[in-house]
Amino acid sequence: MKQLGLIIVIICGGLLLYATQDFPAWGDPTAPVHTHLSPHFITEGLHETGAPNLVTAVLADYRGYDTMFETVVVFCAGIACILLLRTFVQRTRGREYRHTPTGVVLHIQDPDKDLNNPREFELIDNMWVPHDLIIKTVSRMLIPFIQIFALYVVAHGDFSPGGGFQGGVIFGASLILLALSFDLRSSLRRISEKMLGILSALGVIIYSGIGIACMLLGGNFLDYGRLTAILPVDPDHIRAMGMLGVEIGVGFAVMAVMVIIYTNIASQGRHQQGL
């Protein structure tokens, strides 16, 4: 196997390196990469889309179709994790719950019996780890700022580095931090699996919905220019508005999916026990 791998690697690498001789020198402004399409993007991008951040302009407008499917890829991964991992394990006999307000521990024999108000109780299982006060407090303080920053990144995507993906990931990270510092259950108590699922769907629906709205308004799919009919914005910035809209959708989807993937992988699909 190793020898075979070596041979394959050498052949591929040799081919690739051999071909580099025809490349234009690195950073040469006259290379076709810089002369064919990019001048148009750079010089016209701002006028055509109204987004100074050209990367966002190309990402969300010129190649918005790509980006939609990029979001779909994330979405797909999330659903795939649910499909593969999510399991409902049998309730074991004899579970112990701690009543969070009082700290009273109670023991339940009957596997089918449910608690009348489960939000106040938390299951005590073998994976149980006692909390560390410092970590809890620090993350409790940090998380709001992280989330504010995430929103900023999303909202400001078309002016400065950033956008839906980045913002969504940061927001998801804040929730994952919560899950790490407290435990999975308490993070799921704040944002339930159902909510995550619906949010992930909502995000992509927002994106494609905007596109279809443009279609209904007589344009092509994702032709934001048409949105002038329903949005009271000056035509120069209407496309930027459309981009903002799709970025928000992306933000939702990515955030939700990040948390979904984390929760499923971290708990092997058994959400009721944390790390």
Partner 1 sequence: MPDLLTEIVNKYNYWLYIILMMIGLYAMIAKNNLIKKLVGMNIFQTAIILFFISMGYKDNATIPIIMGGHGGEAAHKTIEASQYINPLPHVLMLTAIVVSVATLGVALALIILIYQRYQTLEEDELRMRVKQK
Partner 2 sequence: MSAHYPALIILIPLLAAFLNTAFVWLDKRLCYPTTVLGLGGSVYFCIRLLLKVVGNGTMAYHVGGWAPPMGIELRVDNLSALVLLLVSVIAFMNIIASRKSINEELTFKSGAFYTIYLLFVTGLLGVVATADLFNLYVLLEITSLSAYALLAMGNQDRAPLASLNYIFLGVVGASFYLLGVGYLYIMTGTLNMADVNSLLPGIAGSSAVMVAFVFCLVGIWIKMGLFPLHTWLPNAYSYAPVSSSRVIAPLMTKVMVYVMIRMMISVFGLDFVFEQISLEGWVVALASVAIISGAVMALAQKDLKKMLAYIIVCEIGYMVGGAWLGNSQGMTGAILHIVNDAIMTFALFLVLGNIVFTRKKTAIKDLRGIFSSMPWTMAGFILVGISIIGVPPTCGFFSKWYLLLGGIEAGASFFVFALVLSSLISAVLVFRVVETAFFSPEDGGHEHEKAALNEAPVSMLVPLGLTGVAIIAVGIWSGYIVQHIILPFIQQGIS
Binding site for partner 2 (CB under 8 A): 15-16, 18-24, 31-38, 40-41, 61-66, 69-70, 72-73, 75-77, 79-80, 82-84, 86, 88, 193-194, 197-198, 200-202, 204-205, 208, 211-212, 215, 219-225
Q: Between 29 and 103, whose beta carbon lies closer to partner 2?
A: 29
Q: Between 15 and 129, whose beta carbon lies closer to partner 2?
A: 15
Q: Between 33 and 104, whose beta carbon lies closer to partner 2?
A: 33
Q: What is each CA distance from 242 to 109, 113, 236, 237, in whole angstroms?
A: 56, 51, 12, 9
Q: How many CB atoms lie within 10 A of CB 207?
A: 29
Q: What amino acid occupies position 32?
A: P
| Contacts of 114 by beta carbon, 8 Å cutoff, 6+ apart | none
Q: Between 34 and 185, whose beta carbon lies closer to partner 1?
A: 34
| Contacts of 215 by beta carbon, 8 Å cutoff, 6+ apart | 221, 223
CB of 184 to partner 1, least distance (A): 15
Q: What amino acid occupies position 232?
A: P
CB of 20 to partner 2, least distance (A): 7
DSSP 93: S
| Contacts of 274 by beta carbon, 8 Å cutoff, 6+ apart | 127, 129, 179, 182, 183, 184, 185, 186, 267
CA angle 51, 53, 56 (to 5 degrees): 85
Q: Between 78 and 245, whose beta carbon lies closer to partner 1?
A: 78
DSSP 98: E
Residues numbered 31 to 90 that lie near partner 1 (CB under 8 A) are 33-34, 37-39, 41-43, 45-47, 50-55, 57-59, 63, 66-67, 70, 73-74, 76-78, 80-81, 84-85
Q: Between 165 and 252, whose beta carbon lies closer to partner 1?
A: 165
275 contributes a contact to partner 1 by CB under 8 A: no
Q: Between 38 and 147, whose beta carbon lies closer to partner 1?
A: 38
Residue 223 interacts with, from partner 1, partner 2, none (CB under 5-8 Å by kind): partner 2
Long-range contact set of residues 142-148: C-beta below 8 Å, sequence gap at least 24:
142/174, 142/177, 143/174, 143/177, 143/178, 146/170, 146/171, 146/173, 146/174, 146/177, 147/171, 147/174
CB of 152 to partner 1, least distance (A): 15
Nearest residue to 104 (alpha-carbon basis) of 96, 92, 114? 96
Q: Which residues bind partner 1 (CB under 8 A)?
A: 1-2, 4-6, 8-10, 12-13, 16-17, 20-21, 23, 25-29, 33-34, 37-39, 41-43, 45-47, 50-55, 57-59, 63, 66-67, 70, 73-74, 76-78, 80-81, 84-85, 159-161, 165, 236, 261, 264-265, 268
